[in-house]
Structure 1
């Protein structure tokens, strides 16, 4: 609801190049570097699947701090690139990590690699279509459901519940929740947005912006407090 969709889809190929292809390059680079570094440090007994999981986790970058510096109105092109790359990067990393769960590195051949790529594409495409379907379903429900018309409370509640429904369906089907919610949000902001009243549009926009800010603040506080946990540092040492 916050991103400008025209800029996003106008630069979709560039965003995909940075977010998906760039993440895959980071994944292979970090995995190979982890194998080289951990083998020299003699840290435990890790197999190839563990190093690949490390590469998938650390290839996910956080663009929240960068977006706080940029202004969407002053630099729309750069903002759309950073925002889109961050979302696609996170989604690609999650899908990649989930695909690695069914990957056996001890039996690597052409068939195994093709199965891995097929599983990755299946998760990515299925999550995307599920998000689009749920977004279109929300637009239809809000337009046709009589009890939700011209009621700001009910319309806002339906928008939030339908967005949450997309995430729950993705988790139940073992798909990527973040990718499903992202495309569901894009579809809802384009179609569902026009089926609600003006007061519901304003309320929904500010409600999602507020929830997003609270979630980001809580995340940074939690990570910072967890990093300063003395007991964990003692255990690690």
Structure 2
């Protein structure tokens, strides 16, 4: 099944189709396979029984690490716009999560049947839905040679957005089992956990990257040994932060980002080329597997867990919250003096259009159960999440995330090419910076 997805991906990229993305093709392959599993004598238990922790412990770290390692080809544009990207990614993700949460709480107040989630469930759900993963969009950007500034802003925002969304998710999911006490102490605890997750994970990732960089600078190694060292240090950054109950995925992202800026230059030429290709290959395998499984799951979920009002509200919340791009861009343009560097209205529209949800959001959704199972509850206490999350709530969060991911990829991802062309933001461009 995954092999077929790989072949479909190669065909789409070779033909340079812009009306269908590789992600869409992978989902379609999975959907056909899921249909066969569902209505044939083949057992679907093995597909339904995919360990949810596999997404967070294997696929997600690979995708996030590669995002840091192979951050962007036009690195000078990326670094010049790092401040702008950080504002979009950090403040934007927090604002997005907040807007999604407010919309969900609003409809929850109207009817619990629409949003049948506890308070903490809504907060966690809002955090994971704030994660954008425009794999489909970026593949189209590459084929059409999108405007370098636009390409940099969209990709840079997406990779940092993942880190922030994961930290928010990690911070709130740890409150399952905690008593509901809305006091200043509780709010300070939330802020403290967020800052600890952020700077603790960031510090460990950067520290290990600098140590590994120093080792490769002082010691001559064979290419294979250099690759092994990078892999082991990356794994160590993830496992150490996870052991300390911090965000392992955030640590491995910053390890990859810093390593590429320092350690990479200490490698032999052969190792540089090989590591880039190797890590990109691992990432492609992880993404193809996830998108194929997304397609399979179209026919694997029990239809009773599809809460269509909740899906509609969540989809609206994701699209509406993305409008933060407009006021942020207006403010940022005040500090971007050169006309060539202005974030135009057309660019803002494409940036809003690029708010596709993908592999990261789905991996976080299915991973909630793993966090739940690692906690011990005392049902005599009134908890934020109502003690342990109800099975129905978990299933509806997963199916809703799954549907939002599918719809945004199929509609927003697939239509990116025509929209990009109509806005005349594709082709060769020169930016004066």
TM-score by length of 2: 0.50
Report the Cα distance in structure 2 between the residues aligned to 1:74 and 1:47, rounded to whole angstroms.
42
Give the C-alpha shift of residue 8 in structure 1: 2.6
Deviates more, 1:108-117 or 1:16-25: 108-117
Aligned to 2:151: 79
Give the C-alpha shift of residue 87 in structure 1: 1.8
Give the C-alpha shift of residue 40 in structure 1: 3.4
**Partner SS state of residue 42, structure 1:** coil
* Contact 2:234 2:255 (C-alpha < 8 Å) held by counterparts: yes
Structure 2 residue 103 is the aligned partner of structure 1 residue 29: no
Give the C-alpha shift of residue 200 in structure 1: 0.9
Aligned to 1:225: 296
Aligned to 1:112: 186
Aligned to 1:135: 209
Deviations 1:8-51 (A, max 9, x none): 33222211211111111111111121122234343386332121
* Contact 1:49 1:105 (C-alpha < 8 Å) held by counterparts: no
Root-mean-square deviation (CA, aligned residues, Å) is 2.3
Structure 1 residues 102 and 200: alpha-carbon distance in aligned structure 2, compared to 1, 3 A threshold? closer
Aligned to 1:51: 122
TM-score by length of 1: 0.87
Report the Cα distance in structure 2 between the residues aligned to 1:235 and 1:159, rounded to whole angstroms.
42
Aligned to 1:158: 229
Deviates more, 1:58-67 or 1:6-15: 6-15
Aligned to 1:8: 78
Aligned to 1:202: 273
Alignment length (residue pairs) = 233
User: Pick from 162, 175, 185: which aligns with 2:246?
Assistant: 175
Deviations 1:169-219 (A, max 9, x none): 121111222221121112211221122211111111111111111111111
Deviations 1:69-91 (A, max 9, x none): 11397533222211221122211
Give the C-alpha shift of residue 95 in structure 1: 0.9
Report the Cα distance in structure 2 between the residues aligned to 1:221 and 1:82, rounded to whole angstroms.
24
Structure 1 residues 105 and 21: alpha-carbon distance in aligned structure 2, compared to 1, 3 A threshold? farther
Give the C-alpha shift of residue 105 in structure 1: 7.8
**Partner SS state of residue 180, structure 2:** helix
The structure having more radius of gyration, on CA atoms, is 2
User: Pick from 95, 99, 104: which aligns with 2:167?
Assistant: 95
Structure 2 residue 135 is the aligned partner of structure 1 residue 70: no
Report the Cα distance in structure 2 between the residues aligned to 1:105 and 1:84, rounded to whole angstroms.
38
List alignment gaps of at least 5 residues for structure 2: 1-68, 308-433
Deviations 1:153-181 (A, max 9, x none): 11112122222221111211112222211
Report the Cα distance in structure 1 between the residues aligned to 2:248 and 2:81, rounded to whole angstroms.
23
Structure 1 residues 203 and 102: alpha-carbon distance in aligned structure 2, compared to 1, 3 A threshold? closer
Give the C-alpha shift of residue 136 in structure 1: 0.8
Deviations 1:86-126 (A, max 9, x none): 12221111111221135568322223212211221121111
Which one has the bigger helix percentage? Answer: 1
List alignment gaps of at least 5 residues for structure 1: none
Deviates more, 1:108-117 or 1:88-97: 108-117
Aligned to 2:407: none
Aligned to 2:108: 38
